[in-house]
Chain A
Amino acid sequence: MNDSASWQSLFANLPIFKDAIITGGLAGALLGFIGVHVVLRRMVFASSAIAQAAALGVALSFWVPIVVDPIRHAAGHQAGSDAHVVSSLLFEPVLWAVAASLLATLVFIANPVRLHLTRESLLGLVFLASGAGAVIVGDRITQEAHDLSAILFGSAVVVQPADLVLVVAATVGLLVGHLWLWRALIFVGYDPTGARVQRLPVRRLNAFLFLSIGLAVALCTRALGALPVFAFSVLPAMAALALTSRMSAVFVLATLFGAVSGVAGYAVSFRAELPVGATQTALAAAFVGAAMLARFLAMRLRPRSAADNGSNGGRE
């Protein structure tokens, strides 16, 4: 470990890294909150598949300009490192990431029963097709391969200001929407038939949830990479569910764990000179391990009488 990777160095260069740190924290908080729905509804791999689709969208945003206008693209390369990535607003990677994510999200909104398929199998299709597509497209854009690798595995050392703005907007907008519809989303996830009988707009509420997952995953994938985005949408919720049995506390803790994983993961990766996305993911996983250990110890240390009162195993 060299001197440039010290804590002092991190703080001294905070103006350079602060956008990435804030983005990590906000993405962790947003995905941590939404991830509780993802985990409770047993669609953990949905966010992975959507993130993979977002990565494919970003890869396509690099590749399509090469196909459409190869001369201008080559000229962009000669002009400098910043000029080649986007030759037009139309090829803005985040737009392609959002479009691909929302297309993938439509798969989850659709009812696959008529095709005699399960939703899980469609998840697998989206994940595998997107992953294969990203690798194939990545093979055609060797000059942007580093950018694509960053998107797939997360090495967001520096985040573009535009990405930060989008993540802030998404965090505020989606969290407000989710808080407003929180009770209904829980009801619809827990007892969809009961909710339909009570004439709640179940399809529209599910559409809001899935589209918000798609949007959050797309924007955060563009900023942080697919790996930490998948991690933030699963692991903080798992840790929170292991620690508490109060629904509101689960959401608060998951949001907190996600935010801390995003911020502290970045700091630790800087200090230890590790890849950012992988370190954020490892920290989120460490929260799950610690939560499970705490739960195990609490169960072992809980007085027998309290344990008996807590659950009577189905007896009256």
Chain B
Amino acid sequence: MTTTAAPDAAARLPLVQLTDLRVGYQRRAILPPISATIAAGELWAVIGPNGAGKSTFVRTLLGLQAPVAGRVDRAERLRMSYVPQQSALDTIFPVSVGQFVRMGRQAPGRFAGRPSRADGEVARAALAEVGAADLARQQLRDLSGGQRQRVLIARAIASGANLFVLDEPTAALDIAAERTAMDLIAGLRARAGAAVVMVTHLIEDTLARADRALLLDRDHDVALAAGADELRASAAFVKIYGRTPIHGSLPHGGTAGAGTGP
């Protein structure tokens, strides 16, 4: 396995520091140690085939499960927001767009009673920022995939987070909606002091925009954290995806197409 720390990470304000982090279940590590720094202004792509351990890594990063070994040091001012896959949200719930975005305002000490007027204004501003102000009264479940993704991002913005963690935000979107979502996601890191970590199967477009990436392998013997360009040129990338990608040539599933093997 290989892990590479970002050479210029110290120059940026670190939000999360991973030191020999091993993730897994029931004290059994499923990935090699990962050392990396997620710093403000960075867009991280977490890529790898299905079953490579991307979700386990993200859950550990978010603090939803304990590391098997190593450390996750989070900055004191860190405030995370999680953007789930659209399919994770149960359509039986009659949740309006406005109500959903206001959920982003809930926090310890701010979840009981009625929402404040300020929370409503922040939610409206977030919706406007993603171009979804006119959707506030609609049901989230009635929106198109692209509209829904914008609303999910609006909730993350409304939360005031400085680390946005997105789980396959472009899954099941058409090309136009995919581009819009990617533009919005890339724009999140431009917010003052914020960074983005994104799990994705959209390898080409993401690596073109990402500063850094974490590549995980299905065999659980690769956990390569590196600059996006460096990662694209790595042997591990070629091994997993079959070749160095050419823009627009890799299927979204992440595995190499027929005849493109090493």
A108 to chain B, nearest CB (A): 18
Q: Does A252 contact B (CB under 8 A)?
A: no
Which of chain A's residues have a CB closer than 8 A to the CB of B103? 183, 186-187, 190-191, 194-195
Report Cα–Cα, A310/B108, bound state, in Å.
35
Residue of B nearest to A250 (CB): B94
Question: Is B82's CB under 8 angstroms from A187's CB?
Answer: no
Question: Is A190's CB under 8 angstroms from B106's CB?
Answer: no
Question: Is A40's CB under 8 angstroms from B92's CB?
Answer: yes
Of A42, A199, A312, A314, which one neighbours B107 at CB under 8 angstroms? A199
Residue of A nearest to B156 (CB): A194
Which of chain B's residues have a CB closer than 8 A to the CB of A201? 108
Question: Is B96's CB under 8 angstroms from A246's CB?
Answer: yes
Residue of A nearest to B143 (CB): A312
Which of chain B's residues have a CB closer than 8 A to the CB of A314? 144-145, 172
Report Cα–Cα, A316/B147, bound state, in Å.
7
Question: Is A316's CB under 8 angstroms from B176's CB?
Answer: yes
Which of chain B's residues have a CB closer than 8 A to the CB of A200? 106-108, 111
A101 to chain B, nearest CB (A): 25
Report Cα–Cα, A191/B148, bound state, in Å.
15
Report, as a range, how many residues of chain A touch the other chain. Answer: 20 to 34
Question: Is B145's CB under 8 angstroms from A316's CB?
Answer: yes
Q: Does B90 contact A (CB under 8 A)?
A: yes
Of A42, A196, A245, A316, which one neighbours B177 at CB under 8 angstroms? A316
Residue of B nearest to A187 (CB): B103
Q: Does B200 contact A (CB under 8 A)?
A: no
Residue of B nearest to A190 (CB): B93
Of A40, A195, A247, which one neighbours B106 at CB under 8 angstroms? A195
Which B residues, 78 to 130, have Cβ-Cβ distances below 8 Å to chain A?
80-82, 84, 88-90, 92-96, 99, 102-104, 106-108, 111-115
Question: Is B106's CB under 8 angstroms from A312's CB?
Answer: no
Q: Does A34 contact B (CB under 8 A)?
A: no
Which B residues, 166 to 216, have Cβ-Cβ distances below 8 Å to chain A?
172, 174, 176-177
Residue of A nearest to B155 (CB): A194
Q: Does B159 contact A (CB under 8 A)?
A: yes
Report Cα–Cα, A197/B79, bound state, in Å.
9
Which A residues, 273 to 316, have Cβ-Cβ distances below 8 Å to chain B?
310-316
Given A183-B113, A246-B94, 4 new contacts (CB under 8 A): A184-B111, A198-B82, A200-B106, A316-B174
Would you give 5 A-B contacts (Cβ < 8 Å), ordered by A?
A200-B108, A241-B94, A244-B94, A247-B96, A316-B174
* The 6 A-B residue pairs with the shortest CB-CB distance in the complex, in nearest-first order: A184-B111, A197-B82, A316-B146, A311-B142, A245-B94, A316-B144
Q: Which residues of A contact B (CB under 8 A)?
A: 40, 42, 180-181, 183-184, 186-187, 189-191, 193-201, 241, 244-247, 250, 310-316
Q: Which residues of B contact A (CB under 8 A)?
A: 62-64, 80-82, 84, 88-90, 92-96, 99, 102-104, 106-108, 111-115, 139, 142-147, 155, 159, 165, 172, 174, 176-177
